[in-house]
Structure 1
Amino acid sequence: MPIRKLLPLFFIGFLLTSCATNQQDIQVLNSQLYNLSSRLDSLESRLSAVEKEVARLSQNQAKWQKKIENLALDRQEKLAERQAELSSEIDKLQAEQLRLNGQIEQLLYLQQQDRENLQDFQNKILARLQKLEEKLSSSTVTTNKKEKEEKVVSQEDLYQKGLDLFKKRLYEDAQAAFEEYLKKYPKGKRAPNALFWIGECLYKRKLYEEAILQYQKVIDQFPKSPKVPAALLKQGLAFLRLGDTEAAAIVFKKLVRQYPRTEQARIARKYLAKLGKN
């Protein structure tokens, strides 16, 4: 036991010795002092153990506190990195959205321009067709022909006659046969085809302006006929032969738009690509 703690005890023993009346009382007091000293030593030892345990717990607490702080710091750093990544992604998405919005606005503008140009070109084609009709009407020469007796033939025979003459490259005779068919059977089942083949005869004879008008008759008079895609294609080719590439491109685009899955549309796309109009 530390001396500083025994001094009070010696002092108390001295007083008790002075005041004691006999030796027996002194012994009793000494025994009590010894027991008290032992208890104090025990308490001192226990207090020291408690202090060591407190110190150990404090060290552990400091270690855990440090770990918690490190984990929190690491988590904050990762969270900050993730926030930075998300912010960067958001910026990229916003930039992409602005770019797409710009493209959409440009496409809408171009679409409107195309519509206006298409309408303008269509008006030009109609005007061109009207001029061709007027030109052909004014240049028509009426001739008197002697009527000949003709054998009565069926629709199919007369139509087939025109095809046979066309295959033999007798285009004027073939045209006359198809015109005769239309005169006798204007609403016959082969009427759309007969009109188309008249256009082909004119095209073969390099009468492209007349051919264009003839193909237009197929388109106007029989809009649901399977011959319409072919008539549009040949009309566009006739315009090309005349050197009118704008009109040709308009007709080809109309063909592709209205009959996209046809063989004629496939051919029209090739011509548009060559013209740089696709």
Structure 2
Amino acid sequence: MRIAHYSLLILAACLLWQLTGCCGQKTLPPPGRSDTAERLPAVRTASGTAATVEKPLEMLDKTGLNYSIDQVGRAAGDKKRTEAGSFFEKQYMQGVELMEKGEFADAINLFDELVKRYPNTEEASIAELCIAELYFRNKSNEMALQAYQRIVEKYPHSHAAENARAGIDYLQSFDRFADEHVSPEIEARKRRGL
């Protein structure tokens, strides 16, 4: 029985290690990068080597996001951004800071505002992925699963959908593993609230 518990913990830790980190940390390939980049020899890029984590602004540059949405005097499709950066970038970075401080509710609200401001865009898919990751980090697995599924439905070909599919697989495999390996005594204690 102890072996099953340790196996469950090891599996959870390994899968969590693969999934943790949204918003600028290395997980699945970020937007604009393919998973093959990790298998290629290190190549110098503007953000370092192919093996380094891309900074959010560089990651957004590679996706071709439309920075002109909130900039006066810019034509639609003009992807050049001002020195100060776009509103999305600033809010995104603020959300990351809130997330790192453990202020999950405030971070979720901020990312939700970004989803509303940039509906049906790559920006929205990234913000929704951050929301899903926040639910996951807060151990709200059902909410995280719903958020991941929403991303796959709304943005099926985005890089965020790739990460969301991995999140769905993880949560579903974790549930299956727990169902198969958690003893009846532990289940009974959980039901009694002990």
| TM norm structure 1 | 0.31
Larger relative contact order (Cα-Cα within 8 Å, sequence gap ≥ 6)? 2
Larger Rg: 1
The structure whose residues are more often helix, as a share, is: 1
